Structure 1
């Protein structure tokens, strides 16, 4: 289950970034090659980049790209490290759960309003917040036990190997 979710998350981020690249490239070629550009591209690219950033945050967590999560732990005695790691996990969970809840409220608030260039509901791009925070929470649940036990490499290779080999995770144990 973890491997499927991680792979779907990676595909989502890659697809979003590929779409951003394609539409921006198309617009640059159109503007400088044919003296024609599309007004909606800037808005769409901005919204998609926000989705990519939110959706990629959980992947950055699991791959050890959020280096600040271990900075405090490295400064304390070993006996305090494990409780501090659990506190860090709890703070991250509480923060992202709050962000997800507020993101849902933001989507509801913006649903009846339209964006400037595309005229679509503002609630649609605002969905990036609860979707990204939800993905982060799922990745955090997979990551928490390994983080507390210090059973991961900073580059994330151990985590991916654990996913590929089917090693038990928090949700399976």
Structure 2
């Protein structure tokens, strides 16, 4: 489980990036060498890009490298910094849970309406499922971060050294 927890997002992100490079390269070669386009390649590259971005969000949360303004936080005494940091993580957790929930609603509506992607003919809900996965992973990562702040007082930014 530790290996899965540590390497899941990076493996997905690198795999998706590799797939994007191969798909776009193949489409460029097809356009210039054969004067045609690979429609499936464009759609799959877009699909991979969406999943790569959404998994990148949860990975940034895990590594505590997502964007945040720390000017006020840096000025606070250590005891108060801990609780302000925890409040910020809690607000972000509520946001992530809402994103996950709305992702479920959007994905469900896409499946119910029978919308499909044009080239692959996959249900559009498969693409929207990235929102659910990202929201759930982000929420789990934020719960862990909140636990670290409240229980240990860990307000360090940057990569998590403990897993």
Sort the TM-score into its range (normalised by shorter chain): 0.7 to 0.9
More divergent stretch after superposition (41-50 vs 98-107):
41-50
1:110 is displaced (CA, Å) by: 0.7
Q: 5+ unaligned residues in a row in structure 1: which ranges? A: 164-173
Alignment of 1:58-137 (within 5 A): 58-68=58-68, 70-111=70-111, 112-137=114-139
Alignment of 1:31-46 (within 5 A): 31-46=31-46
TM-score by length of 2: 0.85
Q: C-alpha separation between the residues in 2 aligned to 1:2 and 1:91?
A: 27
The alignment's C-alpha RMSD in Å is 2.1
Contact 1:55 1:133 in 2 (8 A): no
1:124 is displaced (CA, Å) by: 0.8
Aligned residue number for residue 170 of structure 1: none
Q: C-alpha separation between the residues in 1 aligned to 2:71 and 2:3?
A: 28
Q: C-alpha separation between the residues in 1 aligned to 2:73 and 2:157?
A: 15
Q: C-alpha separation between the residues in 2 aligned to 1:151 and 1:89?
A: 10
Contact 2:82 2:155 in 1 (8 A): no
1:73 is displaced (CA, Å) by: 1.6
Contact 2:57 2:134 in 1 (8 A): yes
Q: 5+ unaligned residues in a row in structure 2: which ranges? A: none
Aligned residue number for residue 166 of structure 1: none
More divergent stretch after superposition (125-134 vs 41-50):
41-50
SS at match of 1:127: helix
Contact 2:85 2:155 in 1 (8 A): no
Q: In 2 relative to 1, CA 49–116 (structure 1 residues): closer, same or farther, beyond 3 Å? A: same
Contact 1:9 1:135 in 2 (8 A): no
Aligned residue number for residue 19 of structure 2: 19
Contact 1:50 1:128 in 2 (8 A): yes
* Count of residues in Structure 1 that have an aligned counterpart in Structure 2: 159
Contact 1:2 1:142 in 2 (8 A): no
